[in-house]
């Protein structure tokens, strides 16, 4: 295999086949992908058990492509797995579309694909469809990855941005800002005494534990859970604003209740950023009616991906469409949606 990506790797001919068989199938191989048909033909997820289908897509253009805690391949699997999990779905099948820049070292591509394979195994999903394109040097930036995903939403579970109601409590699964500040520090060449690390992780295991806990609770059940979201681009503040607008409710958040790692806080202060606007890649927000909050919080804290889970606020019928933050100093201010761009190419 040649040492760098050439335009001919995207030709559809011999070199494309060499790349597919020598690299992609080596790591991602399964009987469905290996058939190399135009489309993967699979059993419909959960056709027998009922339920609906969840379908999502995301492109990943993060720079740098390798960073503490992950890489663009791990991120591309986690991000789409998490979007499915937030809809309540069990992620099952993923597709992967690569756009490669001519001259990309093959060793870097191999490292990324191996990381995708490892993350897919950890999340319990199969990559069953793929595509590779190559563009001239200078017409992309190393590599971009798109993943689309299919999952199964169990019958009886209904979540949505528009289902949040006054009285709901807001749970956050852990610290905020880790991913965004890790990327930012890498780009700026910043060093801190305690190193920053992206929180990039698949959240479907945590969600499974949360749903099981609600089912097992005496007075809750799935009906108590109204919405889940992973606060990626735009951070917690932007997701809260989206929910406030879509559900037509007010939201009140306690700044002191939101866990932030010391190194993240330091990096944010240095760069003049607010951690509530910084991207996360392994955290979720859950909106739940009061009777569900206790079992949900206990289940989250008992899971490796939710140890620092906390109730960070509540939903009100007042100031509909707006998010209010009570600061650590006791002041109250409006937390608006992200305006402009804080950290381009964070995912």
- Say if CB 279 and CB 213 are below 8 A apart: no
Q: Which two tokens stand for residue 211?
A: 């749903």
Using the minimum distance from each CB to a second copy, give the nearer residue, 82 or 182: 82
Residue for token pair 């699979």: 42
Query: Whole-number minimum distance, CB 241 to a second copy, in Å?
Result: 9
Q: Minimum distance between the CB of residue 299 and a second copy, rounded to whole angstroms?
A: 20
Which is nearer to a second copy, 176 or 263 (by Cβ)? Answer: 176
| Contact by Cβ (8 Å): 94, 139 | no
Smallest gap from Cβ 27 to a second copy, in A, equals 17
Closest distance to a second copy from the beta carbon of 137 (Å): 11
Which helix (H) or strand (E) segment holds residue 201: the answer is none
- Nearest residue (CB) to a second copy, 30 versus 194: 30
Burial class from Cβ neighbours inside 10 Å (0-12, 13-18, 19+) for residue 133 reads middle
CB of 49 to a second copy, least distance (A): 10
Nearest-approach distance from CB 307 to a second copy, in angstroms: 23
Of 84, 112, 48, 336, whose CA–CA distance to 205 is shortest? 84
Smallest separation (angstroms) from a second copy to the CB of 322: 14
- Length of the chain, please? 347
Nearer to a second copy, 67 or 277 (CB): 277
Nearer to a second copy, 44 or 195 (CB): 44
* DSSP label at residue 209: H
Residue 258 C-beta: closest distance to a second copy, Å: 19
Query: Judged by CB, which is closer to a second copy: 155, or 216?
Result: 155
Closest to a second copy by CB, 48 vs 193, is 48
Q: How far is the CB of 333 from a second copy (least distance, A)?
A: 18
Compute the Cα dihedral for 173, 175, 180, 182 and give only its sign. Answer: negative
Strands lying side by side in the sheet with 285-288: 225-229, 285-288, 169-172, 310-316, 250-254, 323-326, 332-334
Instruction: CB nearer to a second copy: give 138 or 189.
Output: 138
- What b/e string do you get for 146-176 counting C-beta neighbours within 10 Å, with b at 16 or more? bbbbbbbbbeebebebeebeeebbbbbbbbb
- Give the integer Cα–Cα distance in Å for 21 and 18: 5
Q: Phi, psi at residue 145, to the nearest 5°?
A: -130, 130
Selection from 95, 100, 96 nearest residue 143 by Cα: 100
CA–CA separation, 187 and 176 (whole Å): 19
234 or 295: CB nearest a second copy: 234
How many other C-beta atoms lie within 10 A of the C-beta of residue 343?
Answer: 21
Helix (H, G, I), strand (E, B) or coil at 144: strand
């Amino acid at each position: 295999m040649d040492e760098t990506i050439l335009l001919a790797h995207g030709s559809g001919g011999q070199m494309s086949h060499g790349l597919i068989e020598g690299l992609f199938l080596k790591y991602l191989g399964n009987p469905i992908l290996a058939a190399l048909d135009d489309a993967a033909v699979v059993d419909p997820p959960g056709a027998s058990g009922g339920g609906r289908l969840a379908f999502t897509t995301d492109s990943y253009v993060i720079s740098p492509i390798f960073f503490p805690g992950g890489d663009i391949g791990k991120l591309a699997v986690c991000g789409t797995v998490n979007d499915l999990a937030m809809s309540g779905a069990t992620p099952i099948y993923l597709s992967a579309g690569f756009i490669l820049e001519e001259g990309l070292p093959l060793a870097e591509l191999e490292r990324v694909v191996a990381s995708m394979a490892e993350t897919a195994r950890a999340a319990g999903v199969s990559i069953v469809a793929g595509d590779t394109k190559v563009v001239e040097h200078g017409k992309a930036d190393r590599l971009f990855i798109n993943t689309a995903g299919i999952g199964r939403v169990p019958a009886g579970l209904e979540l949505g941005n528009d289902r949040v109601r006054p009285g709901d409590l807001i749970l956050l699964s852990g610290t905020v800002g880790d991913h965004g500040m890790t990327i930012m520090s890498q780009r700026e060449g910043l060093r801190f005494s305690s190193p920053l690390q992206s929180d990039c992780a698949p959240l479907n295991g945590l969600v499974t534990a949360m749903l099981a806990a609600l089912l097992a609770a005496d007075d809750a059940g799935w009906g108590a859970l109204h919405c889940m979201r992973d606060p990626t681009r735009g951070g917690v503040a932007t997701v809260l604003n989206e929910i406030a607008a879509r559900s037509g409710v007010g939201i009140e958040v306690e700044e002191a209740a939101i866990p932030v790692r010391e190194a993240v806080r330091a990096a944010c202060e240095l760069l003049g950023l607010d951690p509530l606007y910084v991207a996360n890649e392994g955290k979720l927000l859950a909106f739940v009616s009061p009777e569900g909050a206790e079992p949900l919080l206990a289940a989250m804290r008992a899971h490796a991906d939710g140890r620092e889970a906390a109730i960070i606020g509540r939903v009100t019928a007042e100031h509909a469409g707006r998010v209010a933050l009570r600061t650590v100093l006791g002041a109250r201010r409006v937390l608006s949606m992200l305006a402009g761009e804080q950290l381009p190419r964070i995912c």
